Structure 1
Amino acid sequence: MALQSICVFCGASPGANPEYRAAAEHLGRYLAEQGIRLVYGGGAVGLMGVVADAALAAGGEVIGIIPQSLKRAEVGHSGLTRLEVVDGMHARKARMAELSDAFIALPGGLGTLEELFEVWTWGQLGYHAKS
């Protein structure tokens, strides 16, 4: 089965190393060039914004999933193919997993690690067979 959608977990900060930004730009562009939809946390800031903007600039489809509280804080990306607003972080992770065939983590903080480990655990428990 060919990958149609990949979820990218990453930081809402650009990080301390300029290579993080370059990696996010490269990944966003690559996904778009391969015709793979980007699913991510819906933010316009940090590496989240970088990966989304790069995919969009390369003609890709980008779906963001953001909790209402973060949307109200005005960090949601307004230029996406689609931005879905959900009730909370649990709903966000579940929806991101539902829409994705595989998962990638770029640099981030505790939230990025938590998202990665939760989806990994779901795989171990048999809730999905995605990579």
Structure 2
Amino acid sequence: MKAKDKLRTNTLRMLLSAIQTAETEGTKHEASDEDILKVIAREIKKRKESAEVYAQNDRQDLADNELAEAEILQDYQPQQLTDDELDALVKQVIADLGEGAQMGPVMQAATKAAAGRVDGKRLSTAVRAAL
């Protein structure tokens, strides 16, 4: 706020609002670190999807704003896994589950092992390729 960076300030205010909404949904509880990471990932996904829609409708100015917000939010996520690290993680999960592992159990275990360090779409693609 002191730096007068309106985009960052507005984005962080939006994130705080989304976290408060997540805390009050269903049963009131204080959001854990895992819950907050999920909210951040969800908000990033929303921004990227909105940017695509804006770009398709020739509103590049709005698309750029959404992408800038997504970049700011990515600063608050853990370091994302590289492709090599992701492949190693998936192979380890498959080895742990044993031969003949199915997509569902592998995805569930890999999602838990990745703990917010990889996008679900990338994880799903890597699991499919490994199976």
Tell me the TM-score range normalised by the shorter chain: under 0.3
TM-score in terms of structure 2 length: 0.27
TM-score in terms of structure 1 length: 0.27
Greater RCO (CA < 8 Å, at least 6 residues apart) = 1
Q: Which has the higher strand share?
A: 1
